[in-house]
Chains A and B, each alone.
Chain A
């Protein structure tokens, strides 16, 4: 007969503190792990441990040509693929000393802003889930569909479209929208707003259709506000949680809505204007609450500004060519180094590129916004309750793949 051995369970005898892993299988963190040390349920230490999706993007860039780098460079943040490729394309153009045609500049801006809204809707929806508000998730994802359709209409693909190329964009926007899509949009409009599209028919003309979708989405955004952002439960769970003071935000080098939620007015689109942004009027939302609520509010108002930008860009867009010439797969880029930034959805995304004059880059460094916001995480997730971790984590809009590259 086998003698049963009773072993003591040492995991509980850890003294005053307990250390455990949160993630990478935790539904609230994605492919990301935090090693959390707690006393009771108060966090005393957070040690972020990224790298679960690291695939060596930067090394891969050294093996692919300047053009074939574009499709895989948008993989780190597929929700915001335009934002991540934008600085790469700007950097290559600056090295080559070329400038895209006027129409391409506007098309790029429209695409980048559409993807910013798509990414922010994802953020708002998931924040809703983790604040215990699943309806927000349904609404965001339902409305997002029509904006994704718009990117498909322009770029040919729903999410990763490789639309930007050095010297312009890959193809022009269509002049006419498919009838099916217009019908579908009209049905959705009636379902969501409880009335028919004003004036009866939704226009099939591209310009007018984009304006119609923008107007619809703006109305929907107004409905989001009382739904989530003004809800007492959401305010109670986010106000004063994860406070990042102004000075700390600057010294930690955070970017995007996290930086602007801490009261710093900084936006690459304004500070280092590129493409068509100098010709477009928009505001940069800044909140000085420095907490999770402020960050969400910045994200919310940024969507409103993006709608404004798209409307202006569509109306101002001139006719003409959309790229300089058909690029061969192997372009040669003059030797040199360049540092270029663009405002992606999660914040400033920069590329440092060193070229040696051949058909592929010598070194590519991606300063992705999530990586720069990662620095703030151990400082924010400290002296809070375990239940607040998902709220702080999602208020940072952290995207593990973008950080790991």
Chain B
């Protein structure tokens, strides 16, 4: 990793910490693996807007979630929602994908939609909605995308959903 990138990333994290204070819960800086910023669910949108306007993070790569309820050693009844964002306008940050993530409870997984910040998040959020049951408030068209219309079971990527034939 170039030192330019390292410096820029440290600056970015410092800036976020200064602006949002204790809303930034956790930071992970390992550009070889993952650059991660864990924020409180209520300020995801502001952080996203800040990243886009101040740091030219204009390119959405994916929205996903992880069910943390069966993680050995650290099981919590929570879902982690992750936005993978990158930049096409900034030369230095071009090679980095930032994971903007937040944790919501499994019983009430609601966060505000980021389609107004990154227009391309629309289909990704629809997928996360049907696969993990995360509700994105303010999404223009939150419907199922990949699963059939008759699907009424649990969201299939939650850990308590066992596919038929896979019971142990």
Contacts and interface: CB of A to CB of B under 8 A. Distances in A.
Contact of B33 (A250, A339, A365): A339
A392 B77 CA distance: 44
A385 interface: no
Contacts of B145: 50-51
A363 B60 contact: no
Interface residues of A, number: 39
Interface stretch (A53-61, A197-205, A215-223, A299-307): A53-61
In terms of DSSP, what is the predominant structure of the interface of chain A? mixed
B145, B147, B157, most chain A CB atoms within 10 A: B145
Contacts of B20: none
Contacts of A54: 146-147
Contact of A63 (B33, B97, B166): B166
Contacts of A365: 62, 64
Given A365-B64, A375-B123, A352 B147 contact: no
Nearest to A358: B72
Contact of A375 (B99, B122, B166): B122
Interface stretch (A103-111, A124-132, A187-195, A366-374): A366-374
B-side interface size class: 35 or more
A338 B34 contact: yes
A266 B95 CA distance: 10
A357 B72 contact: yes
Given A352-B64, A362-B71, 10 more contacts: A51-B148, A56-B163, A250-B59, A251-B120, A271-B94, A352-B62, A352-B84, A362-B70, A367-B61, A372-B62
A326 B164 CA distance: 34
Interface of A: 50-51, 54, 56, 58-59, 63, 94-95, 250-254, 264, 266, 271-272, 336-339, 341, 348, 350, 352, 354, 356-358, 362-363, 365, 367, 371-372, 374-375, 404
A38 B126 CA distance: 25
A291 B77 CA distance: 47
Nearest to B82: A352
Given A352-B64, A365-B62, A252 B147 contact: no
Contact of B146 (A50, A95, A336, A356): A50
A404 B123 contact: no
Contacts of B121: 253
Contacts of B131: 58
A252 B59 CA distance: 8
Interface string B1-32: 00000000000000000000000000000001
B88 interface: yes
A54 to B, nearest CB: 4
B66 interface: yes
Nearest to B32: A94
Given A375-B122, A375-B123, A264 B62 contact: no
Contacts of B34: 337-339
Contact of B36 (A253, A271, A337): A337
A339 B120 contact: no
A271 B87 CA distance: 11
A272, A352, A372, most chain B CB atoms within 10 A: A352
Contacts of A271: 94-95
B157 A58 contact: yes
B94 A363 contact: no
